[in-house]
Amino acid sequence: MILTNLSVDCVIFGFKNDKLNVLLWQANPKLLENFLTTPEEYEQIKILFEKNPALGPDNFWGLIGTHLPDNEDLDSYAKKILKITTGLNNIYLKQFETFGSIQRVPHFRVVTVAYYALINPDYHDMKLSPLAKSVKWFNIDELPDVIFDVKEIILKALKKLREEAQFHPVGFHLLPNKFTLPQLQTLYEVILGKQLISYYL
């Protein structure tokens, strides 16, 4: 059974062309139907898919995620979503907040448990998700039209990433195995949104 009032969404950050990017998708409703275990499960949340702007003809984008089956743990399901949609294993993933305001999804009450993930787009060979009609990286400062409160979720994830980056070396997950000090400095300046003092020659 699908928990119609509970979803898992992932904010996937990537460092590309010296910019912080976020991975968004436009899901394919037919493929999502096949992803769910039974036709009955799809019928449970069919209204959500039918009224979701990201599944319609307009150019709206959403976070990678879906509703939670009742036999899945939150963390393991978030990892499963990332594996299916990116083809990647063992990437940095952290639950950061739950979104549950009454009007966040206009036609249905949905509580979303949000995670953020960190990858290097150039280092990982990602495949197009079998559940999507389109997957694309967007500059964090140039987001497209997004559904519901996706922009708020992304900004909250960015705030959490900035907090984490000040005390933990999470930024290394966005870099290749070999990198230069200038690359590291640029990354942290982009994450923190401020210029850092250079101590190298």
Report the CATH number that the domain containing residue 32 is assigned in CATH. 3.90.79.10
Q: Is the pLDDT of residue 142 over 80?
A: yes
What local confidence, expressed as pLDDT, does residue 108 receive? 78
Mean of pLDDT values over 23-36? 71
Degrees to nearest 5, angle at CA 150 with 146 and 153: 155
Least confident of 19-28, 54-63, 185-194: 54-63
Average pLDDT, integer, range 152-168: 93
pLDDT at 151: 96
For helices 181-192 and 150-165, what crossing angle results, to 10°?
130
In the chain, the number of structural domains is: 1
For the chain, percent of residues with pLDDT exceeding 90: 33
Tell me which amino acid residue 129 is: S
pTM above 0.95, yes or no: no
Only one residue has tokens 């010296």, namely 18
For residue 26, the enclosing domain spans: 2-192
In a domain, 201, yes or no: no
Exposed e or buried b for every residue in 105-139, given b needs 16+ CB within 10 A?
beeeebebbbbbbbbbbeeeebeebebbeebebbe
